[in-house]
Amino acid sequence: MRRRPNIDDVDLTLADLFALWPEAARPFLDLGILCPGCPIAPFHTIMDSCREYGLDEDTFRNAIVGQLGAGR
């Protein structure tokens, strides 16, 4: 049986993130980042997006986790 990925896993792809936690797309969309639906999402991670868009990874990751709330 495959273990459910962890939101804190640095190797979690954006495609998996959005598939498992669709509400995680909100912080991306709020900043105008179109990673949800992007054909590169199966290959990029949160870290990759932060690097690409010049975001602080800890701050952005906290925004994503905050969006998920207690359902984490």
**What's the distance, CA 61 to chain centroid?**
7
Q: Which of 23, 60, 66, 29 is nearest to 45 (CA)?
A: 60
Q: Which residues pair with 13 in a beta bridge?
A: 45
Asked whether residue 45 is domain-assigned, the answer is yes
Asked whether residue 27 is domain-assigned, the answer is yes
Q: Which of 53, 52, 19 is nearest to 36 (CA)?
A: 19
pLDDT value at residue 38 = 94
The number of folded domains in the chain is 1
Query: For residue 52, is pLDDT > 80?
Result: yes
Asked whether residue 72 is domain-assigned, the answer is no
pLDDT value at residue 42 = 97
Asked whether residue 47 is domain-assigned, the answer is yes
| Tens-digit pLDDT profile for residues 17-48 | 999 999 999 999 999 999 999 999 999 999 99
Residue 19's domain comprises 14-64
